[in-house]
Structure 1
Amino acid sequence: MSEEEAARWMLGEYEEFGFLYQEGAASHLFNFQDERLAYFDQNSNLCIGKSVLAVFNRLTPDAVYERAGKFWRRRLDTDQPGRQQ
């Protein structure tokens, strides 16, 4: 699976459910055993590959990332400007 394909998979999940949890996406991508898609950082956290995130962010310009819950969701009228809330 390429980084583009991984990001498009994430997009499909996000569009289907209206949100996407980072941990679930990282776990799914980690199963492909490709560190470009998902990897463990220095604190042993499972992370989505930076290039995958770059593509996903480009594909979802109106998505908001909830830092406290670690998930992406659709933007609400009440959200502050910016991607992270």
Structure 2
Amino acid sequence: MNVSEASTWMRSQLDEDSCLYQDDVVDYLVKEGAEALLRENSDGNLVLERKLLNEFRKLTQDEVVWVKPDKYWRFRVPEDEPGRDARG
């Protein structure tokens, strides 16, 4: 699985469920043998590689926000401020 395939899968999951948890993406990529698209963060947890995040951002542009406290993406609502991050 490459970056484009993974980001397209992420988008399809978001379209289907209206939200997408980072842990679910990590689990899916491990199951698919795509660990190259993951990295270990400073806390020792697996997270998405920057190149995958950038590709996903291209697919979702301004219509998706990241909810940092709960580590998931969701579609933007009118109450969201400009930018990629939503207020928890």
Normalised by the length of structure 2, the TM-score is 0.87
- In structure 1, the gaps of 5 or more residues are none
Partner of 2:11: 11
How do 1:34-45 residues align onto structure 2 when only pairs under 5 Å count? 34-45=34-45
Partner of 1:26: 26
CA distance in 1, matches of 2:42, 2:67: 22
CA distance in 2, matches of 1:16, 1:81: 24
Alpha carbon RMSD of aligned pairs, Å?
A: 1.3
Equivalent position SS for 2:82: coil
CA distance in 2, matches of 1:68, 1:43: 15
Percent identity over paired residues:
32
- In structure 2, the gaps of 5 or more residues are none
Say whether the 8 Å CA contact 1:22–1:70 is kept in structure 2: yes
Q: Between Structure 1 and Structure 2, which shows a larger proportion of helix residues?
A: 2
| Pairs aligned (count) | 85
Partner of 1:51: 51
